[in-house]
Chains A and B, each alone.
Chain A
Amino acid sequence: MSDLTRKTAAELSELMASGETSSVEITQAHLDRITATDTAVHAFLHVDTDGALAQAADVDKRRAAGEKLGPLAGVPLALKDVLTQDGVPTTAGSRILEGWKPPYDSTVVKRLKAAGIVILGKTNMDEFAMGSSTENSAYGPTHNPWDLARIPGGSGGGSSAAISAYQAPLAIGTDTGGSIRQPAAFTGTVGVKPTYGGTSRYGLIALASSLDTPGPCARTTLDAALLHEVIAGHDPMDSTSIDQPVPPVVEAARRGDVNGLRIGVVKELGGEGYQPGVEARFHEAVELLTKLGAEVVEVSCPHFQYALPAYYLILPSEASSNLAKFDAMRFGLRVGDDGENDAEQVMRLTREAGFGAEVKRRIMLGTHALSSGYYDAYYGQAQKVRTLIARDFTRAYEQVDVLVSPATPTTAFAIGDRVNDPIAMYKNDLCTIPSNLAGNAAASFPVGLADEDGLPVGFHVMAPVMRDDLLYQVGAALESALADQWGGVLMSKAPELEVTR
């Protein structure tokens, strides 16, 4: 058997269906790969070896018994540590949750389990998903498998690093301002932020409730679509979940046809501040789509320039409230409970010790923005901007089917480069944030390497609410055309990681 870790989820599924290999074999191969490479990469915060092998054995048993299984049954997956899994440590990258084992499964995990997907473990992330580099994790940064001296993006850097290091064919991320798409761009993988409400937030440790969206990460468009289909759909446990059928994402990923599709290039997302290599790959991809029959026009979204400041008022405001529950009373870290301090002092000491600098910064920002006397000027105003951005999208979608832009202004930067410059760090998410504010669907697909640094470039596609299928249509068309040019997927150009035994 050739290296199972190099296979796509779809290929693994076929190999299991034909009896050529088993889920236990596949799972073991990925666990071995994690052992061999994660010292260097640090994608995982917790590897659930026993749990994963038990799940795999169960799938094999059911398959042997003739049970009809879903297309991804037995395929391993890496889970971002922000989603609860019953009995498995869940930290959200924070000290304040160190050692906490949630007593319940998030809806995403429930659906993964029901589909027979094997959960290998929990991946590293910026603390409470606040960050764009995974450097804000309380447990140390994750390294980009393309260049270990660089960041893999964030907040879901662990998930994107795990799939680009062949530690797992699939991963789950969550996207609040780009935390799935930006890491995908930086690691040459596919990352999809579904329509807000298209995937359930139940069991997702909230950063910003009105923005957080769980979604799939994979090395191919089809794999992402297969995973998307498993986790999407209405959930009565999440009031903001949309009660509509899941868009036909798998069908779209298989079709990959853009003939006649109207594509709008967002004028405001490019130019100054964008790395030349990023722009070059982006424009080539646009040309490629034109050749494939798409109609490409330039579209203006004038309010996108206000997206970043609006986002950095709405997100901290919601986060300051969402993170209030971390108070040492019922779970997680407790500091200073010496019989002398009262409950309020214990809360203070615990939050002081348990939260990192970026988390504290955003809690303070949000607390201030919601304060009486400031609410209208900050939170209220930001909500108005949000409406204007949503209107920009609506107008644009009257002219075109999807919008496109680079996924990020630059390629992956060096570890430590921007830790002392929060604004530079925040600017990473310029292209991705508008879709979170408007709640529509968006994705990043790999479209080559920047000439300056040889690092992956992501192509950003934005589609209307509940038209997630259009993302896959564009992504699959690009993927197959580029594979013809490159003689394989972009990931095959990634350097080999040194393995430790």
Chain B
Amino acid sequence: MTVVADVLPIDDALAQYDPVMGLEVHVELNTKSKMFCGCPTEFGAEPNTQTCPVCLGLPGALPVVNAVGVESAIKIGLALNCEIAEWCRFARKNYFYPDMPKNFQTSQYDEPIAFNGWTDVVVDGETYRIEIERAHMEEDTGKSLHVGGATGRIHGASHSLVDYNRAGIPLIEIVTKTIEVPGEKAAAVARALVSQLRDLLLSIGVSDVRMDQGSLRCDANVSLKPKGSTTLGTRTETKNVNSFRSVERAITYEITRQAAILSSGGKILQETRHWHEDTGITTSGREKSDADDYRYFPEPDLVPIAPSREWVESLRATLPEAPSLRRARLQTEWGFTDLEMRDVINGGAVEYIVRTVELGVDAAAAKKWWLGELARAANESGKDLGDLGVGPAEVAEVQKLVDEGALNDKLARQVFDGLVKGEGTPAEIMAARGLALVSDDSALIEAIDRAIAANPDVVEKVNSGKPAAAGALIGAVMKDMRGQADAAKVRELLNTKLGI
């Protein structure tokens, strides 16, 4: 990438401009079959094995709506405090692209199934209300693979391959209204929103929400306006920002990039932009104007959807409690302070701790591992917590080993390190790295004897009525055992030896 972007430092940018954001979040539903046909939706199957005449758009084939997809859409709408349409339709969004089988996407246009909602996000103890414009149903496209060009891009490719397994997988597009929060919080609020949406979708069970597999994809609209101005600036739409961290980084980048252009008298081009995870910048994509004409019209192959109020209410009754109420309840149950709870929320660890606690782990221990160890590892590797390959089951397993005395916290940290590096199960990592605690008394006693022999002065102090000095001997034993000893056991044996 040769593009060297001219950016203004974020503090300077925010001193001059207020950012205005809007997010479009695409969620792949976890229905068993696709939105308009019976094909399976499993991720990672051989290319073009999960297709049929309908999702390949063969001549003559017709769509039939997946009722579970509609149910999930309504649940999402309700969870976002939306109104649910009494009557709505699908519409065709017409444009040509090789990975779109029919060259129109079956979507919704001016009649979305859910609209006018809101959700609250908390950043640094402040609550921000995000207005939801709409949540609508649509189908995913296929996936193009460009061969022969640099880094899989279409530019310079010799040919392209298309996998239609993804074509027709149900998507819900959630669109926020414009988000205007204090500039220094903007990117963090956006990140918190996406993170919270993930938690929400997980908790209502409608999606696997795997950002690494593309089941949650985020497009971020950003514009700037001079401080104090009420006139909206020209926006850019950064596509496919696919991790929480990237949401924050991409928005921050766009703010600094746009500020640099505006402050030097330039104009922002209305366009889509590509986010580059590796370099942390966005580059120009396709120029986009409001006149982009998709020639929407009501999909004549489908009949309108009119969810009965009884059905909507019965779905509402199945929804878990609202996130803010739930967080308050969890904080009480877990006995966390406000500060601790804020860290947990900001760290995106709420759902992981919930599920770890469900597996019998003490909340404080769960928090210790998720925030202390795993969040740190995620941060270091630039990943999201969910993408580390370590789940609640592994955390519970490690904690069980600690409770049983097979590991101490220090060794447990090394086990987590192994887990993150994909070295196998906790047992395998312990064996491979030789991490088990030594529980053999004779080995400990030998080490104690060596410590006593090497530290006559300390023994002298203890014998002269200063038992606290024995701590130094414990430290020496632990060091001798390379940490692989239970400190309480060492103290017990040492006390016996020294007669205290």
Q: How far is the CB of B88 from chain A (nearest CB, A)?
A: 15
Binary flags per residue of A232-255, CB closer than 8 Å to B gives 1, else 0: 000011111000000000000000
Give the contacting residue for B291; candidates A92, A240, A329, A372; CB below 8 A: A372
Structural contact, A239 and B295, CB atoms closer than 8 A: no
For residue B64, CB closer than 8 A to chain A, the reply is: yes
Structural contact, B94 and A321, CB atoms closer than 8 A: yes
Q: Which of A38-46, A196-204, A223-231 contacts B (4 or more CB under 8 A)?
A: A196-204
For residue B60, CB closer than 8 A to chain A, the reply is: yes
Q: How far is the CB of B346 from chain A (nearest CB, A)?
A: 43
For residue A375, CB closer than 8 A to chain B, the reply is: yes
Point out which of B56, B59, B102, B296 has the most chain A C-beta atoms below 10 A from its C-beta: B59
Point out which of B60, B65, B293 has the most chain A C-beta atoms below 10 A from its C-beta: B60
For residue B475, CB closer than 8 A to chain A, the reply is: no
Q: Considering the chains assembled together, what is the distance between the CA atoms of A210 and B299 in angstroms?
A: 9
Structural contact, B60 and A327, CB atoms closer than 8 A: no
Structural contact, A90 and B59, CB atoms closer than 8 A: yes
Structural contact, A321 and B104, CB atoms closer than 8 A: yes
Q: Considering the chains assembled together, what is the distance between the CA atoms of A102 and B53 in angstroms?
A: 9
Structural contact, B291 and A106, CB atoms closer than 8 A: no
Structural contact, A239 and B62, CB atoms closer than 8 A: yes
Neighbouring B residues of A371 by C-beta, 8 Å: 293, 295
Q: Considering the chains assembled together, what is the distance between the CA atoms of A203 and B61 in angstroms?
A: 5
Q: Which partner residue on chain A sits nearest B52 by CB separation?
A: A104
For residue A447, CB closer than 8 A to chain B, the reply is: no
Structural contact, A325 and B101, CB atoms closer than 8 A: yes
Give the contacting residue for B103; candidates A236, A240, A324; CB below 8 A: A324
Neighbouring A residues of B57 by C-beta, 8 Å: 325, 330
For residue A370, CB closer than 8 A to chain B, the reply is: yes
For residue B44, CB closer than 8 A to chain A, the reply is: no
Q: Considering the chains assembled together, what is the distance between the CA atoms of A331 and B159 in angstroms?
A: 17
For residue B297, CB closer than 8 A to chain A, the reply is: yes
Binary flags per residue of A93-107, CB closer than 8 Å to B gives 1, else 0: 000010010111010
Within 8 A of A (CB), among B131-185: 158-160, 162
Give the contacting residue for A205; candidates B59, B104, B159; CB below 8 A: B59
Say what secondary structure dominates the interface of chain B: loop
Q: How far is the CB of B146 from chain A (nearest CB, A)?
A: 10
Q: Considering the chains assembled together, what is the distance between the CA atoms of A253 and B152 in angstroms?
A: 64
Structural contact, B96 and A327, CB atoms closer than 8 A: yes
Structural contact, B94 and A325, CB atoms closer than 8 A: no
For residue B354, CB closer than 8 A to chain A, the reply is: no
Structural contact, A240 and B53, CB atoms closer than 8 A: no
Give the contacting residue for A325; candidates B62, B102, B303; CB below 8 A: B102
Known: A92-B59, A237-B62, A239-B63. A321 touches B96 (CB 8 A): no
Neighbouring A residues of B58 by C-beta, 8 Å: 84, 102-104, 330-331
Binary flags per residue of A59-102, CB closer than 8 Å to B gives 1, else 0: 00000000000000000000000011000001010000100101
For residue B300, CB closer than 8 A to chain A, the reply is: yes
In this complex, how many residues of chain A approach chain B with their Cβ under 8 Å: the count is 45
Neighbouring A residues of B56 by C-beta, 8 Å: 330
Structural contact, A202 and B60, CB atoms closer than 8 A: yes
Neighbouring B residues of A372 by C-beta, 8 Å: 291, 293, 295
Structural contact, B61 and A324, CB atoms closer than 8 A: no
Q: Considering the chains assembled together, what is the distance between the CA atoms of A215 and B239 in angstroms?
A: 47
For residue B8, CB closer than 8 A to chain A, the reply is: no
For residue A411, CB closer than 8 A to chain B, the reply is: no
For residue B301, CB closer than 8 A to chain A, the reply is: yes
For residue A318, CB closer than 8 A to chain B, the reply is: yes
Structural contact, A370 and B103, CB atoms closer than 8 A: no
Structural contact, B101 and A330, CB atoms closer than 8 A: yes
Known: A103-B58, A330-B57. A324 touches B96 (CB 8 A): yes
For residue A483, CB closer than 8 A to chain B, the reply is: no
For residue A37, CB closer than 8 A to chain B, the reply is: no
Neighbouring B residues of A90 by C-beta, 8 Å: 59
For residue B372, CB closer than 8 A to chain A, the reply is: no
Say what secondary structure dominates the interface of chain A: loop
For residue A333, CB closer than 8 A to chain B, the reply is: no
Q: Considering the chains assembled together, what is the distance between the CA atoms of A239 and B64 in angstroms?
A: 6
Q: How far is the CB of A334 from chain B (nearest CB, A)?
A: 12
Structural contact, B295 and A370, CB atoms closer than 8 A: yes
Within 8 A of A (CB), among B399-418: none
Give the contacting residue for B60; candidates A106, A236, A326, A347; CB below 8 A: A106
Structural contact, B300 and A210, CB atoms closer than 8 A: yes
Q: Which partner residue on chain A sits nearest B290 by CB separation?
A: A372
For residue B7, CB closer than 8 A to chain A, the reply is: no
Known: A106-B60, A330-B56. A239 touches B302 (CB 8 A): yes
Structural contact, B297 and A203, CB atoms closer than 8 A: no
Binary flags per residue of A349-375, CB closer than 8 Å to B gives 1, else 0: 000000000000000000100111001
Known: A204-B60, A371-B295. A324 touches B301 (CB 8 A): no
Neighbouring A residues of B94 by C-beta, 8 Å: 320-321, 324, 370
Neighbouring A residues of B61 by C-beta, 8 Å: 104, 202-203
Neighbouring A residues of B471 by C-beta, 8 Å: none
Neighbouring B residues of A83 by C-beta, 8 Å: 60
Q: How far is the CB of A89 from chain B (nearest CB, A)?
A: 12
Within 8 A of B (CB), among A174-225: 201-206, 208-210
Within 8 A of B (CB), among A270-289: none
Q: Considering the chains assembled together, what is the distance between the CA atoms of A375 and B102 in angstroms?
A: 21
For residue B320, CB closer than 8 A to chain A, the reply is: no
For residue A499, CB closer than 8 A to chain B, the reply is: no
For residue B98, CB closer than 8 A to chain A, the reply is: yes
Q: Which partner residue on chain B sits nearest A205 by CB separation?
A: B59
Known: A321-B92, A327-B96, A329-B162. A203 touches B103 (CB 8 A): no
Q: How far is the CB of B217 from chain A (nearest CB, A)?
A: 23
Neighbouring B residues of A417 by C-beta, 8 Å: none
Give the contacting residue for A102; candidates B60, B63, B293; CB below 8 A: B60
Q: Considering the chains assembled together, what is the distance between the CA atoms of A68 and B119 in angstroms?
A: 64
For residue A317, CB closer than 8 A to chain B, the reply is: yes
Neighbouring A residues of B64 by C-beta, 8 Å: 236-239
Give the contacting residue for B62; candidates A238, A375, A379; CB below 8 A: A238
Give the contacting residue for A240; candidates B96, B297, B301; CB below 8 A: B301
Point out which of B61, B92, B96, B295 has the most chain A C-beta atoms below 10 A from its C-beta: B295
Give the contacting residue for B98; candidates A240, A320, A343, A367; CB below 8 A: A343
Q: Considering the chains assembled together, what is the distance between the CA atoms of A201 and B296 in angstroms?
A: 22
Q: Considering the chains assembled together, what is the distance between the CA atoms of A63 and B489 in angstroms?
A: 90
Neighbouring A residues of B162 by C-beta, 8 Å: 329
Binary flags per residue of B276-312, CB closer than 8 Å to A gives 1, else 0: 0000000000000001010111001111000000000
Neighbouring A residues of B102 by C-beta, 8 Å: 324-325
For residue A11, CB closer than 8 A to chain B, the reply is: no
Neighbouring B residues of A318 by C-beta, 8 Å: 297, 300
Q: Considering the chains assembled together, what is the distance between the CA atoms of A388 and B35 in angstroms?
A: 34
Give the contacting residue for A97; candidates B59, B101, B300, B301; CB below 8 A: B59
Structural contact, B53 and A239, CB atoms closer than 8 A: no
Q: Which partner residue on chain B sits nearest A337 by CB separation?
A: B159
Neighbouring A residues of B104 by C-beta, 8 Å: 321, 324
Q: Can you list 5 A-B pairs with a CB-CB distance of less than 8 A?
A: A205-B60, A206-B301, A239-B64, A239-B303, A372-B291
**Additional A-B contacts beyond A103-B53, A344-B96 (4; CB < 8 A):** A83-B60, A102-B59, A210-B300, A339-B159
A residues with a Cβ closer than 8 A to B are: 83-84, 90, 92, 97, 100, 102-104, 106, 201-206, 208-210, 236-240, 317-318, 320-321, 324-327, 329-331, 339, 343-344, 347, 367, 370-372, 375, 379
Rank and list the top 4 A-B pairs by shortest CB-CB distance, nearest first.
A324-B103, A209-B300, A370-B295, A210-B300
